[in-house]
Amino acid sequence: MLDFGIPKDYNGGTKTLFEKGAEDKQEVREMKKFVMTMPGVRAVALTAALAVCLAVSIEGPGFAQAFADEAATKWKCEKKSGVFEGYGGWKEAVRAYTNGRCTDKMSCHTTKKVNSTYSGELKVSIPKLESFALMKHQINKSFSVSVKYSTSLKGKKKGTWAIQYRPVYNCRNVTQRKYQKADKKWHKTSVTKKVKTKDYKSMAYRVVYLSPKNKTCI
């Protein structure tokens, strides 16, 4: 048994700190406070040695187990909202000018990179969030989609027109809850964090009037 010089009569007993252990969490806190007041014991190496000695020398519900329980936490996805739509920002695909008598079509046909994502403080793993929120696409994994739209300039007033597009997402609000381990059991806490998932759905389009002048250069 290693002895770092802790008095034999600590807490009124005849055993060393490592031999005595801790019967409950109150003793754990008292023992930690005592150790932290000792000169030089704040070093990481001694803290690690203390944990090892406790783990190998104490049987039953002792200091090592109580210390580990006190530090153990985990998070779980607890609930999710129904699906609602979310949108990215509008971007311009193409412009065209009409003199007011033009019957031509204005069209765009290209591909763009999109991805599904989330916002907020994520506490669980990304795969767990994807599964819980029933997402169809992996988060932050880009893929290509077609941006294709056409409209006639017939009947449109003189000026410059543009086709714009934006991504549409299926969104959910997900609540994560923190769990604390004590006495070898996981206990629900009141601490929660929310994240919003954004799962790519489709592209939306609109035709907008920009100017009565010819401004076809983007």
Residues 5-58 have pLDDT tens digits of: 444 444 444 444 444 444 544 554 565 555 455 555 344 444 444 444 444 444
Encode pLDDT of 176-187 as tens digits.
999 999 888 999
Q: Which of 36, 201, 189, 207 is nearest to 105 (CA)?
A: 207
Domains of the chain (ranges plus CATH)? 10-71 (no CATH), 75-211 (2.170.15)
Could you give the percent of the chain with pLDDT greater than 70? 67
Report the range of poorest mean pLDDT among 11-20, 187-196, 209-218: 11-20
Calculated CA dihedral for residues 123, 128, 131, 135, nearest 10 degrees: 50
Per-residue model confidence (pLDDT) at position 183: 86
Per-residue model confidence (pLDDT) at position 36: 52
Report the range of poorest mean pLDDT among 27-41, 65-79, 95-109, 144-158: 27-41
Residue 78: left if φ>0, alpha if ψ -120 to 50, beta else—which one? alpha
Per-residue model confidence (pLDDT) at position 101: 86
Please give the mean pLDDT across all residues of the chain.
79
Sign of the Cα pseudo-torsion (90, 95, 97, 98, in order): negative
What element of type H or E holds 148?
Answer: strand 143-152
Which pTM value belongs to this model? 0.64
Q: Which of 203, 212, 176, 218 is nearest to 97 (CA)?
A: 212
Per-residue model confidence (pLDDT) at position 179: 96
